[in-house]
């Protein structure tokens, strides 16, 4: 009887071993994918060097509660990193931020490849919530309007208001500006942001819309003789926007 059951037991053991191996492999893949998701590589550029990073450990982790544990984890990650030149990397804890993330600094500048390797070593710790490069970003805003160059009043030349420099600071989002001018006509760049207005002109010969004061701020045009309409109110609204 035992001779008959042995192969069955062996098969059971082999199936159990295969299942355990499959579970282990799937866990490793899942862990790897999770670690990759914890890394923000958007700040890495091949032409730059890096020596500061922001890493946040999860709530309840020993690294959050104990700076000695934090240092031990960082030292372990640094030791595991193999640089191309064979030199070791030392990590220093700079400070804890208000959002409970930690700023860390390397003892020398790293190129993009070494910086990414270090970030991956640190993110391999499941207690890490995220890690990213600590760098200063400069906002630069230039309109994608193909005819923007024709707007001399926005530029830095004579008569220009240097609007592009202001746009690097703020876009004016949320501000409401009243324009008292000839009214406004349809414009694809403005229609979505135009609020209700009012026509204050009583003289129908001047307003050119056939009626007096009303709640319609539309600009019917001010063409006269051979001169085309100026659409000045729409022009000013576009400048403000």
Set out the domains of the chain in order of their start, with CATH numbers: 38-133 (3.30.70)
| Nearest of 80, 78, 79, 57 to residue 69 by alpha carbon | 57
How many secondary structure helices (H) and strands (E) does the chain include? 7, 5
pLDDT digits (tens, 9 = 90+) for 72-113: 999 998 888 765 557 788 999 999 999 999 999 999 999 999
Q: At what angle do helices 2-37 and 112-123 cross, to 10 degrees?
A: 130
| Nearest of 85, 82, 55 to residue 71 by alpha carbon | 55
Strand order in the sheet with 50-57: 39-40, 128-133, 50-57, 102-110, 91-96
- Answer whether residue 177 shows pLDDT above 90: no
What is the pLDDT, as a whole number, of residue 29? 41
pLDDT category of residue 223 using cuts at 50, 70 and 90: confident
pLDDT category of residue 31 using cuts at 50, 70 and 90: very low
Give the global pTM: 0.47
């Amino acid at each position: 009887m035992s001779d008959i059951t042995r192969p069955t037991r062996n098969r059971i053991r082999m199936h159990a071993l295969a299942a355990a191996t499959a579970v282990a492999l799937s866990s490793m893949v899942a862990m790897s994918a999770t670690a990759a998701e914890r890394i923000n590589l958007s700040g890495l550029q091949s032409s730059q060097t890096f020596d500061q990073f922001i890493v946040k450990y999860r709530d309840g982790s020993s690294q959050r509660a104990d700076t000695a544990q934090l240092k031990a984890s960082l030292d372990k990650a640094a030791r595991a990193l193999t640089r191309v030149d064979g030199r070791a990397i030392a990590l220093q804890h700079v400070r804890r931020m208000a959002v409970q993330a930690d700023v860390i600094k390397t003892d020398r500048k790293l190129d993009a490849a070494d910086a990414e390797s270090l970030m991956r070593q640190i993110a391999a710790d499941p207690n890490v919530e995220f890690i990213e490069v600590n760098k200063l970003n400069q906002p630069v805003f230039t309109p994608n309007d193909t005819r923007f160059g024709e707007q001399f009043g926005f530029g830095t030349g004579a008569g220009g208001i240097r609007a592009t420099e202001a746009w690097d600071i703020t876009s004016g989002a949320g501000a409401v500006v009243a324009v008292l001018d000839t009214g406004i006509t349809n414009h694809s760049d403005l229609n979505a942001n135009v609020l209700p207005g009012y026509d204050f002109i009583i003289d129908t010969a001047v307003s050119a819309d056939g009626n007096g004061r009303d709640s319609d701020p539309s600009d019917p045009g001010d063409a006269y003789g051979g001169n085309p309409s100026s659409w000045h109110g729409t022009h000013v609204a576009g400048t403000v926007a």
